[in-house]
Structure 1
Amino acid sequence: MLSQALGTAPGDWVADPETGLGFGYEGGAILFGVCLLVVAAAYFVTKASHTLLFWITFILTSPLGAIGGDFLDKPQASGGLAMSWYAASAAIACFVVGCIAFFPQRAEKISVSG
């Protein structure tokens, strides 16, 4: 519940022009996408805790998903694409399946010394 509350509400706040920062859907997606890139860079460049980086990433994906979902189903007058709930869900499902198919999945190599 905490990760959802920390994730979804900031996504709405960043994108909303009336009650939030007013970045819009595209600006909000770019903002949270850049934040995720910073976390990815920290994973590879620093010795930061991988557990901490995992939880930061886990929380940052919620606002990115909320903004993406809002962009797909909100009216065009609000900056969205006005897709139906079913079409938006299908688009997101295709995106997820495409990412799973495109990005290689590999197990971490564990060395056992005895």
Structure 2
Amino acid sequence: MTTTRMLASKVPEVTLYFWIIKILGTTVGETAADALNVDLGFGLTRTTLVVGIMLAAALIYQFTLRRYVPWIYWLVVILISVAGTLITDNLTDNFGVPLATSTGFFTAGLILTFAAWYISEGTLSIHSIRTRRREGFYWLAILFTFALGTAAGDLVAEQIELGYLTSALIFAAIIALVAAAHYALRLNAVLAFWIAYIVTRPLGASIGDYLTQDKTAGGLGLGPTLVTAVFVIAIVGSVAYLSITKADVIDTTVDNPDAKDAARA
């Protein structure tokens, strides 16, 4: 059998650490946008510009790397999380686009991204992120999941008026059901991952809003700046731990990463 040495994976292994940091990061995406926009007085337009520049710089550096580096990977995730919130906020506040419309638009964009990715590469597995083209599809999909999650979370919590805490519980229950379907019913691993990944965004958005919004609006009134600071500290600590232990590093040499994923699924 012929084996091929592959480039090191550009993304982390999916472990408990991954999901913890992901949920923390999605919450920061919601609260940091509000902290910059409102608490620090940047305004929506200036906040969007600053975050856009930071995201572009982080992505450029991420693409120059040949392997997964925890701090820059998670920095990109957090910045995309903030950007996803700002995209939805701009559409809603500056252009008057209804949340239902933006939710549908981002859903279509995500489906088209997945379709193009699969047609081009034959897989949607994150274990196959070993080329720049696949990494490009990966980050585009991530952007759509964050924008979609923000719109869907606001739609459920505010427009449908279920409230932030109830919305968070609903999204958490969906993730639990997906996990149960994967482990008990052998739901395809790649499909289960992406469903859970998408739903963690509205979960984080609902948690962020519940913690920061005024009590009169159904929140705890802790404020976006305080919540952002606490969650960022938790993320930095977690990423530092992973950087030292390498607990989330995927093996850099495998015979066939796509076949490996198929076997896991």
TM-score, normalising length: structure 2? 0.35
1:95 to partner: Cα distance? 6.1
Q: Which amino acid letter does the alignment assign opposite residue 212 of structure 2?
A: D
Distance 2:169 2:236 in 1: 22
1:12 to partner: Cα distance? 0.8
1:85 to partner: Cα distance? 2.2
Distance 1:106 1:85, change over 3 A: closer
Q: Which has the higher helix share?
A: 2
Q: Specify the alignment match of 1:90 in structure 2.
A: 229
Choose the corresponding residue for 1:28, options 147, 167, 179.
167
Q: CA RMSD in A?
A: 2.5
> Mean alpha-carbon deviation: is it higher for 5-14 or for 82-91?
82-91
1:59 correspondence with 2:198: yes
Q: For residues 64-83 of structure 1, what are the structure 2 equivalents within 5 Å?
A: 64-83=203-222
Show structure 1 runs of 5+ residues with no match: 109-114
TM-score, normalising length: structure 1? 0.74
> Mean alpha-carbon deviation: is it higher for 28-37 or for 77-86?
77-86
1:82 to partner: Cα distance? 1.7
> Mean alpha-carbon deviation: is it higher for 81-90 or for 24-33?
81-90
Distance 1:34 1:94 in 2: 27
1:2 to partner: Cα distance? 1.5
Distance 1:45 1:11 in 2: 28
Show structure 2 runs of 5+ residues with no match: 1-142, 242-246, 251-265
> Mean alpha-carbon deviation: is it higher for 86-95 or for 32-41?
86-95
CA deviation map 1:42-101 (0-9, x unaligned): 111122210111100110000000001111111111011222322111343466679899
Q: Specify the alignment match of 1:112 in structure 2.
A: none
Distance 1:46 1:32 in 2: 20
1:30 to partner: Cα distance? 0.9
Distance 1:65 1:106 in 2: 22
Percent of pairs identical after alignment? 35
Distance 1:46 1:94 in 2: 37
Distance 1:68 1:3, change over 3 A: same
> Mean alpha-carbon deviation: is it higher for 25-34 or for 83-92?
83-92
Distance 1:96 1:27, change over 3 A: farther
Q: Which structure would you say has the larger RCO, counting Cα contacts within 8 Å and 6 or more residues apart?
A: 2
SS at match of 2:187: coil
SS at match of 2:186: coil
